């Protein structure tokens, strides 16, 4: 089977189409595995989080002393990826000097059109503390540099410090955040992919020269686009000229901006929501870019609703179901990783809080944890026969165990006939209601949902089975 056909079939394997009701006495939905198709190998560092560069203005946040946050990171993954970037990266400067006085803020949430982010400074102390945080958590880092308003000289100086201090914890440097949004913001209206590539090459050459002079090496990733695919296509065509480019990156938001009347809880749960930054028809372009560059693709920033998140949707249990399904869907497309954006007390942030007040888990945290076994697994193509397109299924194996993730985002109970025998429910993800902001539970309840090879899947529930 050709790779593109395989990826297409994997992407469709979790697709569904809509039943008015499925009582337990109705014929069950049928799940089958394509035994003849090869598995996708999911990287160990598939899961990740994304934070704004401005957060580094407080050196005490990403620090070895922030043990509660380290514990939460390790609860999600012991080998995850922290991406530092976002809109605030185009305003930050770097300084070798230690900070003077109190930091401008303790926490910095996701960037919005109303965020005040001028003048934030990242110091060498913040990078040293970040190294301690990464060592303690076991995570690596994608580090964003200022292209929008920075200079190549400043980027090179910062890159040298980051590479020297983070060492093996530096996964890749990125030059710029969402360059496809530079027009009429940092660049003239005529700015396009060719202009971006010219700038990127200029910055890249300066950074590589500075790294060489310091006897350092670093990998790169990009283009970190928002949603304008010609920038990704152009970057992918350029990538083979640069062996130090390790992977491609882009962003995804299920809907937005926050405040749009269509940015609703119900819309978020659709397979292809209105207002989404990338439609299903766009993903073949991403797969073509991967093929052109011969590189993997990582969704380096993603969440439910851009411009900070939609209250009543992004902060509810529905976002946990959306999150779990989106992560699995991107794995099935063959992507190499995902980074859920957040920080501070952001509406959609998986983790909220501060060192002084403590941290807590928001609904999306449980959605990420639900699929954490996926990291390092073999994901198999499968097909779910059901007309309800908000019920999805994913099969994978890890450490001699077979797993099945069933995610029901619909308001119908469905019985699924699975190819698994003697399975138990490792995780059940539930909440009292879809719009619950508290009482989201991820439990290790067992056989109540299992009847031989039949699984009774209640509405608005996700179950991870293991055999």
pLDDT, tens digit only, all 467 positions of the chain: 333 333 333 333 333 323 333 334 457 899 999 888 889 999 999 999 999 999 999 999 999 999 999 999 999 999 999 999 999 999 999 999 988 889 999 999 998 877 777 779 999 999 999 999 999 999 999 999 999 999 999 999 999 999 999 999 999 999 999 999 999 999 999 999 999 999 999 999 999 999 999 999 999 999 999 999 999 999 999 999 999 999 999 999 999 999 999 999 999 999 999 999 999 999 999 999 999 999 999 999 999 999 999 999 999 999 999 999 999 999 999 999 999 999 999 999 999 999 999 999 999 999 999 999 999 999 999 999 998 899 999 999 999 999 999 999 999 999 999 988 778 888 999 999 999 999 999 998 654 456 668 889 999 999 999 98
pLDDT (0 to 100) of residue 425:
82
Contact 13, 383 (CB under 8 A): yes
pLDDT at 451: 64
Token pair of 106 as six digits: 């303790």
pTM of the complete model:
0.92
Cβ(82)–Cβ(139) below 8 Å: yes
Distance CA 375, CA 397 (A): 10
b/e per residue 270-298 (b: at least 16 CB within 10 A): bbebebbbbeeeebeebbebbebbebbbb
Domains of the chain: 3-40+378-466 (2.60.40.1180), 43-374 (3.20.20.80)
Query: Tokens in use for 144?
Result: 């964003």
Identify the pLDDT of residue 96: 95
pLDDT at 18: 30
């Amino acid at each position: 089977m050709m790779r593109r056909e395989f990826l297409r079939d994997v992407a469709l394997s979790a697709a569904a189409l809509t039943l008015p009701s499925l009582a337990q006495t109705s014929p069950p939905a049928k799940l089958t595995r394509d035994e003849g198709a090869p598995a996708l190998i999911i990287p160990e560092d598939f899961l990740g989080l994304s934070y704004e560069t401005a957060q580094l203005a407080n050196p005490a946040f990403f620090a070895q002393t922030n043990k509660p946050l380290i514990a939460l990171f390790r609860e999600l993954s012991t080998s995850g990826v922290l991406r530092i970037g976002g809109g605030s990266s185009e305003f930050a400067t770097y300084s070798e000097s230690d900070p003077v006085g109190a930091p401008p803020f303790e926490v910095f949430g996701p960037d919005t059109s109303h965020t005040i982010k001028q003048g934030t400074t990242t110091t060498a102390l913040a990078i040293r503390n970040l190294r301690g945080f990464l060592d303690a958590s076991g995570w690596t880092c994608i580090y964003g540099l200022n292209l929008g308003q920075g200079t190549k000289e400043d980027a090179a100086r910062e890159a040298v410090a980051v590479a020297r201090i983070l060492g093996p914890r530096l996964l890749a440097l990125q030059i710029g955040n969402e360059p496809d949004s530079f027009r009429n913001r940092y660049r003239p209206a005529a700015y396009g992919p060719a202009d971006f590539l010219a700038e990127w090459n200029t910055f890249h050459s300066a950074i590589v020269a500075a790294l060489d002079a310091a006897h350092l090496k670093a990998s790169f990733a990009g283009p970190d686009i928002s949603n304008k695919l010609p920038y990704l296509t152009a970057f992918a065509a350029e990538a083979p000229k640069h062996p130090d480019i390790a992977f491609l990156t882009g962003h995804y938001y299920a809907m937005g901006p926050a405040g749009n009347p269509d940015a609703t809880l119900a819309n978020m749960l659709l397979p292809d929501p209105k207002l989404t930054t990338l439609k299903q028809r766009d993903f073949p372009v991403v797969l073509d870019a991967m093929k052109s560059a011969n590189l993997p693709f990582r969704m380096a920033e993603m969440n439910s609703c851009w411009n900070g998140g939609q209250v009543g949707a992004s902060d509810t249990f529905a976002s946990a179901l959306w999150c779990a399904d989106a992560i699995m869907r991107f794995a099935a497309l063959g992507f190499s990783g995902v980074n859920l954006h957040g920080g501070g007390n952001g509406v959609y942030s998986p983790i909220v809080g501060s060192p002084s007040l403590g941290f807590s888990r928001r609904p999306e945290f449980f959605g990420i944890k639900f699929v954490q076994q996926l990291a390092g697994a073999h994901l198999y193509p499968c097909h779910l026969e059901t007309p309800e397109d908000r019920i999805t299924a994913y099969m994978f194996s890890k450490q001699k165990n077979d797993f099945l993730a069933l995610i029901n985002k619909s308001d119908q109970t469905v019985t699924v006939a699975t190819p698994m025998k003697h399975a138990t429910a490792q995780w059940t993800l539930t909440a009292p209601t879809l719009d619950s902001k508290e009482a989201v539970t991820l439990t290790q309840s067992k056989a109540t949902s299992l009847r031989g090879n039949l699984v009774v899947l209640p509405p608005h529930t996700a179950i991870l089975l293991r055999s």
